[in-house]
Amino acid sequence: MSADKIIRMANQIALFMESKPHDEGVTGLAAHINDFWEPRMRREFFALLDAGGDGMRPLVIEAAAQIRRPEPA
């Protein structure tokens, strides 16, 4: 999956979660990614985040601490 698509998908979830109270939004975003993104997608997500997270909404970056980091492939 392309970097742009991973960022776009994470940001779309964040945009929805930003309508909720802050802590609920952070937890909800992390839970959605943990529940619905396969390990390969989460590996790509963390590679982008580790490279600086350019283009990611602040809520995505904050929620990353609650997202399960998969084992390296």
pLDDT score for 72: 85
Residue 43: HSE in the Cβ half-sphere, 13 Å Cα cutoff: 8
- 16 in a domain, yes or no? yes
Expressed as residue numbers, the domain containing 9 is: 3-66
Q: Which of 6, 20, 3 is nearest to 67 (CA)?
A: 6
Q: Amino acid identity, residue 46?
A: F
Is 27 inside a domain boundary?
Answer: yes
Q: Is residue 10 part of a domain?
A: yes
What is the identity of the amino acid at 37?
A: W
pLDDT score for 1: 84
Q: Is the pLDDT of residue 73 over 80?
A: no
How much is the pTM?
A: 0.93
pLDDT digits (tens, 9 = 90+) for 47-65: 999 999 999 999 999 999 9
